[in-house]
A and B are shown apart, each in its own frame.
Chain A
Amino acid sequence: MARVKQSVSPAMRRTPGERVYNIFNIIFLSLFALICTYPFYYLIINSLSDNSAAAAGEVTLWIQGFHLENYKTVLGLDGMATAAWISVARTVIGTALTVMASAYLGFMFTQQKMWHRSFWYRFVVITMYFNAGLIPMFITMKNLGLTNNFWVYVLPAVVQPFNIILVKTYIESIPASLQEAAEVDGANTLTVFGRIVLPMCTPILATVAIFSAVGQWNSFQDTLIYMTDSKLYSLQYLLYTYINQASSIANSVKASGTVNAAMLATAATPTAVRMTVSVIVVLPIMFVYPFFQRFFVKGMMLGAVKG
């Protein structure tokens, strides 16, 4: 039985040519996976290694002269704590609001009875295909008083047509009889939403949540455009400024203490500062990512089926 089943699989028959192909295939895929991940590994081992060894380019495979001084230095840098707090806050608040709005609007747009439903649905979806552009957007935000305001990180991202389409399509695949039964029992629209539909939407909402959280965490452009107040800088923006100014930071660290040989090994070099900040910024994603991968792969597939 098993054999019959296997012979169906396109990968089963093994001529010598195919075996060579298999080997090449595996080598090619492994190589690309290595190229995709080694840089992360390189950053981590170098940020933990003796800085003089790291500067000499000797740390390529494993940590040499383990120490945590770089992290102490970087976490103590001006603005680091504030930026981390801003990034966490915008990720949490932004994701929560986006998920709630996507679920709510996605559901409401399935309600046939809504006044001019299809018009309003299009009214929202069309915004996916055009935008006014960067400068008009900036002027509008400025006129709305949202520049140098935390809420500019969150509010424009709340209603996202793509997420709404995803949720709406998903809800439409749930049998309508469930909602009807609840309505017969006297539930109103909002009760149906909260008690019946919302709990069933978990997989698609998880996808939306991940996209939104990653987007919020990674966003860099909005800080660049809307913020001049350093108290509102996000971690990504701070990283960008550190990459460009790392040598001056390292110098100020060196100048601030008495330098001796032992300290020199752990004193921050520009490279060490850059790498350490990078690791701090990327770490949350690397931790969260493997757990949620199956969700967004599923979510992407939902999108793909839709076309």
Chain B
Amino acid sequence: MSINDLPVLSALRTKMQWHQERQRVLAENVSNSDTPNFKPRDLVEPKFNSTGQAVGGFAPLSLTRTSAAHIVPSSGESASFDQNRKVGFQTRPAGNAVSLEEEMLKVSANQMDYAAATSLYGKSLHLLKTAIGKG
């Protein structure tokens, strides 16, 4: 069993990847805050079972490339995490439903949760060091 397979570390890693992906989705929302007919999007938070495996929601159904001439399938539409399209509560006359305040709130929450996940990751590594007697 390699260090990366430890349940707590793999769960934290999935969580960090989710935050990274979410940051991209939120950046898209904010940069398109003046584009007509743009609907903001968000990601569904991953759920973990007792062994640290992410469950439900994201089993990616990727397109198979049978020839080198095929176009690489787009990962822009969230490669591995479910999208939550039921977001935004107000649509402006131009058809744009982005609320800058709401997006900024999500960005700061995303950043703080990411910080928490990285701290936990660092602490877990520290725990391993203690266990092998180098702490």
Q: Do A and B bind each other?
A: no
B residues near A, CB below 8 A?
A: none
A residues near B, CB below 8 A?
A: none
